[in-house]
Structure 1
Amino acid sequence: MINERIFKSGDDMLAALVKETVERLEFAIATRGHASIAVAGGRFPKPLFQTLSTVRLDWSKVTVTLGDDRWVGLDDDQSNEKLVRDNLFINEAQNARFVSLKTSDSSPEDAVATVSARLRTELHWPLDIVFLGMGDDGHTASLFPSSTPEALRKGLYPEHGEVVAAARPTVSPVPRISMTLPAILNARYIGIHITGQSKWSTFETAKNGTDIEEMPVRAILQQTDVPVDLWWSAENPKG
């Protein structure tokens, strides 16, 4: 069951999402002694990270990773890891722990085994929170319908328990690495945050269809094991 959380403004959605995140992290720390969260890249997360960074909680007990990243240098503005480090790991959150999806390998394909092993051992599973975005084509994380069928299947249905998969979508010149579908679903909570009317229309199409390879986000929306909130506002936060 998808819980649709609709807001009049981006600022209202940001405030509610920060509150939801902090409450879940605090509960995890209080009950299990640690918290784990996978976050998304994109435009909306930047103010989310900046606001979260000012919240006082025991960040030393919080482990952060990404649902996906581009295979670029860590000083590249396209890097989701750079986005997180520059905007979340500041202020009160400097002591949070980060688990990277990147290696020194020349391609994400070469890094799959290493990164899968790293995430298996360095994250607390199931993850307390997984935040995802969604593209107008129905992709989420870097599970793209425009990837080759073989690459998409490795992301959706990994044969050997891989936690990550390489992605080379035709809509992007930059290769990527992404959590696989089973890894994403190994979570206590999933939140998909989107803004704008076109993304709402995409969500409606995805919600009412069945072909997962046509719109990979359907794999998240159609499952019933993990609670999913769809967060939407017509605009991005102004703050």
Structure 2
Amino acid sequence: MAISDLKLPEGVTAHTFEHSAALARELAKKVAAQLSAAIAGTGQATLVVSGGRSPVAFFEHLREQPLEWSKVVVSLADERWVPVEHVDSNAGLLKKHLLQGAAAKARFVGLYNVAANLEDAAEQADRLLAELPPIDVLILGMGDDGHTASLFPDSPNLNQALQLDNPRRCWPMLAPTVPHQRLSMSRSLLASAKTTVLSIQGQSKLNTLNDALAGNDVAALPIRAFLQPTLEIYWCP
């Protein structure tokens, strides 16, 4: 299956790249252009990214882009509830691969905080996100199970986190893999982004995306919540 075989909703566009390096390079250029345009228009720009190992090359290309980084706010679509120093921390990943050099001037708004339990941590993150400027660019990933951010199928709180009319910005979520405890931006906050890109690699992700396009049960495959007009998909084998 190729991405051209997918029956994409009207308004959704797809871009195919030969390899991950090309995808990372072109995505960095696109995001930098979008952020620059936002800065020119409003004096600031907000970027929300996903963690994991897949975006590392993208982060490293993006930090080299000629941006007014002091006018950029960076945040995370989701976070593992572990300290920044932990190997699984998304914030730690950003600090190592994106927030370096000139990009270190960006303001980072993280989700992790020390709290008595995951619910308390999510409530604290929710209050912090109330101060997050409007999201200009959102970069999502997707798992083979159809999750995006940390909106995992069968997780407690999933149905509430997927409600567009729920004003809460951050939810405690549970992943099927270690570390299990996660913090995730809600669908309503993520859906408010002016530009959304889904960046995925590999045939299995393409198969999952094809399955998502074939049905309507958002809770079964949460990525379905974001397969809306204006979405751009970046894919490589």
Does TM, scored on the shorter chain, surpass 0.5? Answer: yes
Rounded Cα–Cα distance in structure 1 between residues aligned with 2:66 and 2:118:
36
Residues 70-219 of structure 1: pairs in structure 2 closer than 5 A: 70-121=80-131, 123-125=132-134, 127-148=135-156, 151-157=157-163, 161-219=167-225
Q: Is residue 28 of structure 2 the alignment partner of residue 18 of structure 1?
A: yes
Task: Tell whether the 8 Å contact from 2:29 to 2:65 is kept in structure 1 after alignment.
Answer: no
Q: Deviations over 1:152-204 (max 9, x none)?
A: 11211277511010001334442000000000001101111110110111111
Matches within 5 A, 1:22-101: 22-101=32-111
- Pairwise CA RMSD: 1.4
CA distance in 1, matches of 2:15, 2:202: 14
Q: What CA distance in whole angstroms lies between the structure 2 residues aligned with 1:203 and 1:158?
A: 21
Residue 107 of structure 1 deviates from its aligned partner by 2.5
Counterpart code for 2:161 = G
Runs of at least 5 residues in structure 1 that lack an aligned partner in the other structure: 235-239
In the alignment, which residue of structure 2 is the partner of 1:237?
none
C-alpha spacing 1:173/1:14, structure 2 compared with 1 (3 Å): closer
What's the TM-score once normalised by structure 2's chain length? Answer: 0.91
Q: If the length of structure 1 is used for normalisation, what is the TM-score?
A: 0.91
The answer to whether the 8 Å contact 1:146/1:169 transfers is no
Question: What is the aligned partner in structure 1 of residue 231 from structure 2?
Answer: 228
Q: Are the structure 2 counterparts of residues 184 and 28 from structure 1 closer, same or farther at C-alpha, using a change threshold of 3 Å?
A: same
Which range is displaced more, 6-15 or 27-36?
Answer: 6-15
Alignment partners' CA distance in 2, 1:14 and 1:170: 28
Equivalent AA in structure 2 for residue 44 of structure 1: S
Q: Does the 8 Å contact 2:162/2:188 carry over to 1? A: yes
**Quick one: percent identity of the two aligned structures?**
35
Summarize deviations over 1:53-80 as a string: whole Å, max 9, x none.
1222210000000000000111011000
The CA deviation at 1:87 is: 0.9
Check whether the contact 1:40–1:133 (CA below 8 A) recurs between aligned residues: yes
Quick one: distance in 2 between partners of 1:107 and 1:158? Answer: 26
Q: Deviations over 1:98-154 (max 9, x none)?
A: 001011113221122221121111x211x1001111000000000000313xx1112
Secondary structure of 2:130's counterpart equals helix
| C-alpha contact 2:141 2:200 (8 A) present in aligned 1 | yes
Structure 2: stretches of 5+ with no match in the other structure: 1-10
Report if the CA contact (8 A) 2:170-2:183 is conserved. yes
